[in-house]
Amino acid sequence: NAGVTQTPKFRVLKTGQSMTLLCAQDMNHEYMYWYRQDPGMGLRLIHYSVGEGTTAKGEVPDGYNVSRLKKQNFLLGLESAAPSQTSVYFCASGDPVAYYEQYFGPGTRLTVT
Amino acid sequence: RKEVEQDPGPFNVPEGATVAFNCTYSNSASQSFFWYRQDCRKEPKLLMSVYSSGNEDGRFTAQLNRASQYISLLIRDSKLSDSATYLCVVNSFLRGGYNKLIFGAGTRLAVHP
């Protein structure tokens, strides 16, 4: 039982490049989330999904897209990376009833130069 | 104004000390409150929920004051292993009525021998 996994763990991009972050969970959770964490700020919700095939915008969705084609996977895409997207990205999953206990992946450290 | 505000610390305390962290939240509609723990360069994990009557889990005690919109976490008999960042978390709502979590930026605790 791996819980929530994220790939890659680290990445350096040049401005304008694109990439996809992959999140996978093996707990059969309905809900999945993408957050970013920046120094001095709390985790901020980028996008979320309440079930397979559904996605919705969170607090800071600009510059990101997501897809949830399979229940266990939640992909975060950066179409044209900008230095402002330098951050640590966390994926999380959770159960609708116990929504407050979110299980996080280990994070992806992304630097955009 | 941030929705959840915490003193960033760091709180540097010796082993065995008692330390208290405070947190204020701005949304009076929030109904659920939690503390998460985040170790350095790791993912956040749920530490405990906070109930109106106050609750205790071993050396940890959480209190809620709804009138003042204030949450606290008390750690007694600090251990070296308590060194981490403690995130204050409150619930809010997404479009469609789904719950979301609002994370504070965290209070860093360093326990030394």
Model pLDDT for residues B58-69, shown as the tens digit of each residue? 999 999 999 999
Burial tier of A62 (Cβ tally within 10 Å: 0-12, 13-18, 19+): exposed
- pLDDT tens track for B54-107: 899 999 999 999 999 999 999 999 999 999 999 999 988 777 777 789 999 999
Min Cα distance B83 → chain A (Å) is: 18
Three-class secondary structure of residue B50 per DSSP? strand
Q: Alpha-carbon distance A2 to B102, whole Å?
A: 26
A107 and B CB contact within 8 Å = yes
Q: What b/e string do you get for A79-102 counting C-beta neighbours within 10 Å, with b at 16 or more?
A: eebeeebbbbbbbbbbeeeebbeb
Q: Please, which pLDDT band fits residue A2 given cuts at 50, 70 and 90?
A: confident
Section A1-23 average pLDDT: 95
CB contact under 8 A, A105 and B91: no
User: In the prediction, which pLDDT does A4 show?
Assistant: 97
Q: Alpha-carbon distance B22 to B4, whole Å?
A: 11
User: In the prediction, which pLDDT does A41 show?
Assistant: 85
A40 and B CB contact within 8 Å = yes
Q: Alpha-carbon distance A33 to A103, whole Å?
A: 10
> Which chain A residues touch B96 with a CB distance below 8 Å?
50, 56
